[in-house]
Amino acid sequence: MSSIDQLFAELRSRDAKAFIPFFTAGDPDTSATAALVRAAVAGGADLCEIGIPYSDPIADGPVIQASYQRALDGGFKLQQVFDLGRTLAPEVASPLVTMVSYSIIHRIGLSRYIQQAQDAGYAGAIVPDLLVEEAAELAKLCRAADFSLIQLVTPTTPRERQLRIAESSSGFLYYVSVTGITGERNELPADLTDSVSWLRERTDLPICIGFGISDATVASKLAPVADGLIVGSAIVRRVHESGGGDAAVRAVMAFIDEIRSVM
């Protein structure tokens, strides 16, 4: 079992849900990212998602797009993600995963990316732009390495395709709560609960819901049906608006406490 498999098995044994915050690597710098991850884990994050800045974001809304651009403008390089993992993995108890474009993995080489990520302490990768028709080779390599390949299902994904995505995924499934890009929302689709419940009956993989979780009210509606909640834009916005440093840690921790209180 991978560390992510172990995490969800332990959570399920006590009927608990995973809280998964997203941080953009290098926004405002990698030292700040490391401090935020440490604080988040200390404050109850079960798994942390580290976004790799990319000049052509796939499904990211304006908040995360802007954070990627700030990191890139600051000179962020891919190697810094691996350095960040090597710094954090020995210090935090929660698994770390990257959110990474498949084009980056393909450019480095599939096996090489997996090896570099594992050597740096990452337990898996969320690959938002990997088509299920092209996932077989990466899925096979990830399973052989016990490295989780986390793929996305959206509200408009046909059900037969959802099952194919589940079959080629490992660790957990990332269920996109809304159609469109990332970002905070006050209302979510009325049929979301039924759609997630349908999929949960057909896969053993944990299902974590992301996109659109803006506050505790939204989180409280999703927690009963999900195995975990992923929060990105609301955290990234607080990091930026706080100006970074200790203020960012305080702002993010207050928000994490708010979300955790309803899970």
The residues, ordered by sequence, that sit 6+ positions from 186 with a Cβ below 8 Å of its Cβ are 214, 217, 218
Q: Is the Cβ–Cβ distance between 111 and 138 less than 8 Å?
A: no
**Which parts of 109-232 fold into alpha helices (H)?**
110-119, 136-145, 159-167, 192-200, 216-222
Q: Is the Cβ–Cβ distance between 209 and 195 less than 8 Å?
A: no
Active site residue 49: yes
Chain centroid to CA 130 = 15
Task: Give the span between the Cα atoms of 49 and 175, in whole angstroms.
Answer: 15
Catalytic hit among 5, 27, 46, 49? 49
Residue 216 has phi, psi (to 5 degrees) of -65, -30
Active site residue 137: no
Q: Is the Cβ–Cβ distance between 222 and 187 less than 8 Å?
A: no
Nearest CA among 236, 181, 169 for reference residue 208 = 169
Catalytic hit among 29, 60, 91, 160? 60
Q: Which contacts qualify for 241-248: CB closer than 8 Å, 24 or more apart?
A: 244/28, 244/29, 244/32, 245/32, 248/32, 248/36
- Reduced to 3 states (helix: H, G, I; strand: E, B; else coil), residue 157 is coil
133, with CB counted inside 10 A (0-12, 13-18, 19+), is: exposed
Active-site residues: which are they?
49, 60
